[in-house]
Amino acid sequence: MSANPLAIFHLRGTQAEMGTQLGKGLVKIGGWEPLLDYYPRMPAMLIGSSMPPKVRRLAEPVLRGVLRGPSLTMIHYRRRHFPEYHERSLAMVEALGRPASAATHIAIMDVFQNVVGLATKWGFKESARVGTVAHGMCSSLAVWGEHSSTGGLFHARNFDFPGVGVWDIAPTLVFCTPDKGVRYAYVGARGADVPGITAFNEAGLTITAHTRFHREVHFARTSIVDLAHEIIRRATNLKEALAVAKEHPVASTWGLLVSSAAEKASLLIETTASGVEGFKSTSGRLACTNHYRNTPQQENEASPSATFMKDSLTRHARLEQVSGQGAIGVEDLQRMLGDLSDPDADAYPAWRVVGNNIASPLSVQSIVNASDERVLHVSVGTAPTGWGPYAAIPWNWDAPQGVREISADELPERNPNIQPDAEKREAYMAYTALAREHLVGRPAGDARDLARRWPKEPHFQFMAGITELQAGNFPAASGHFDQALALESAPFRRAQYLLWASRVQSVLQDPRTEATRAALAKLEHPVIADFQKAAAAERKKPLSSRRLTQVSLNWLVVDAE
């Protein structure tokens, strides 16, 4: 795998002074423009990815205008309640020679998550196709004690973010020595000053933030960047971390995994606009993906789709599976971040090329923080960054102020990592290339080619079937769904495939239609109720052939709406 240069910054002073120092350092080394230009377009691009191509081209400019209002509302709140952080952002963009408006996109993920939550709350799920919009796919795991190869604390994380090609190719590590608070550091990218998303401090706390979706959201509240920044700058233990989180009314819906090397423990902090919940683990391990763990918050959770929830649950199960196999260390956790296993998949016992994997096309940042050893292992590879290579960087706040680049030539050999065999690796990279093209709005190519080249991957057969539906070729679509079902025995994916097979069979007046619906009704799985309800409703009112040709394909979690 290729390696990208890693930029390491050392900043000191007030927040505004550190913003200026960061901006000047970015000007010195370059490479910050693509990410800063990308941020304003991202929310509209994500929402537009659920739409047919012709509609998407017209809708995205409109969406950008609509989303500007919520973004400005959050900036006004920030300016009042976190003036130092706002001044930091303004100072950075001023040093870059950009207008102050370039600092208004700091809360971009809060805005996106809130739009999804509101669409679900207001009953727009079907018309807005919310299920094909959400792209939260991050995974974190903290281990210590008997689950750690050294007994010390390790905190591993994949940051899955729709910034492939701009975020992963320009990694940064920023050490901050503020005039007030604890010294801290964060992992980011050139052009993104995001303290707290993936961060640690000299007291031994590590924090990683994860998308959630919930109906209780608010725009005039604290953004995730500022909330996590406050925690990592002020907290020295888990109790203080939770207390800081509860001080601030939170705008959006997040899960923050916080670990403490000194306490040998970890805490999950989950937020909505209604409040903050947390629970502490002392069992030696704690995993975090993209669903709520606290019972009070599960009640109004806005699961965008059954497949989104399944993806999160499966990755969580795999994290627990890995951490339950004995004492693990840095290289084991690096392998985990590059893992393509699906615990539920029987068609390929060891591998799935696509769907429900810890490694994803959006894995743009991967780290293993060896907190007791005070060493950060950070990937400098391209997406999926879990495959490495990794650079081992000691924690150090005492280096001279400024920036230095570690070139690819200076990096150590990549650590051993899980890689598919040559055929599956080729399949994965071919799939991810198409998925990324779709995400940014370029013609995504044809899933049918994937199914032809790798006919034993059931997800490729399903995706090819959806592609044939879009083309109005119903007999061919039915054939692909039949092939997917012949390959797949895991109940969740069988339920998904049976639903779509019944839909196309109904249009074709295939005598198997009712038997297919009956087979779906007999399946048992915690998150297939939506599939079963849809099939039952379609007995009375089947989907039309026109509606089926308008289906949207989610390339990332292998879903359709």
- 1 pLDDT band, cuts 50/70/90, is low
Whether the CA torsion 196, 198, 202, 204 is positive or negative: it is: positive
- Range 229-248 average pLDDT: 98
Whether residue 126 is predicted with pLDDT greater than 50 in this model: the reply is no
Question: What distance in Å separates the CA atoms of residue 499 and residue 426, rounded to the nearest whole number?
Answer: 30
Question: What distance in Å separates the CA atoms of residue 222 and residue 218, rounded to the nearest whole number?
Answer: 9
Query: How much is the mean pLDDT over the chain?
Result: 90
Residue span(s) of the chain under CATH 1.25.40 come to 446-560
Span of 53-57, 238-242, 296-300, 325-329 with lowest mean pLDDT: 53-57
Residue in 289, 296, 292 with CA at minimum distance from that of residue 316? 289
Q: Can you say whether residue 402 is alpha, beta or left, with left for phi > 0 and alpha for psi between -120 and 50 degrees?
A: left
What pLDDT, on the 0 to 100 scale, is given for residue 239? 97
Whether residue 474 is predicted with pLDDT greater than 70 in this model: the reply is yes
Question: What distance in Å separates the CA atoms of residue 118 and residue 124, rounded to the nearest whole number?
Answer: 8
- Range 268-275 average pLDDT: 96
**DSSP notation for 42-95:** HHHHHHHTTS-HHHHHHHHHHHHHHHHHHHHHHHHHHHHH-HHHHHHHHHHHHH
- Adjacent-strand bridge partners of 256: 209, 269
Question: What distance in Å separates the CA atoms of residue 261 and residue 147, rounded to the nearest whole number?
Answer: 14
Phi and psi at 487, nearest 5°, equal: -95, -25
258: enclosing H helix or E strand: strand 254-260
Span of 126-140, 217-231, 287-301, 434-448 with lowest mean pLDDT: 126-140
pLDDT cut 90: percent of the chain above it: 65
Amino acid making up residue 195: P
Residue in 439, 489, 444 with CA at minimum distance from that of residue 467? 444
Phi and psi at 112, nearest 5°, equal: -60, -50
Helical spans, DSSP H, in 287-421: 295-298, 306-323, 330-337
Q: Are 75 and 85 in contact (CB under 8 A)?
A: no
What pLDDT, on the 0 to 100 scale, is given for residue 413? 54
Q: Which fold has domain 446-560?
A: 1.25.40
Span of 61-70, 264-273, 362-371 with lowest mean pLDDT: 61-70
> What is the CATH architecture of 139-422?
4-Layer Sandwich (3.60)
What pLDDT, on the 0 to 100 scale, is given for residue 511? 97
- 550 pLDDT band, cuts 50/70/90, is confident
Whether residue 350 is predicted with pLDDT greater than 50 in this model: the reply is yes
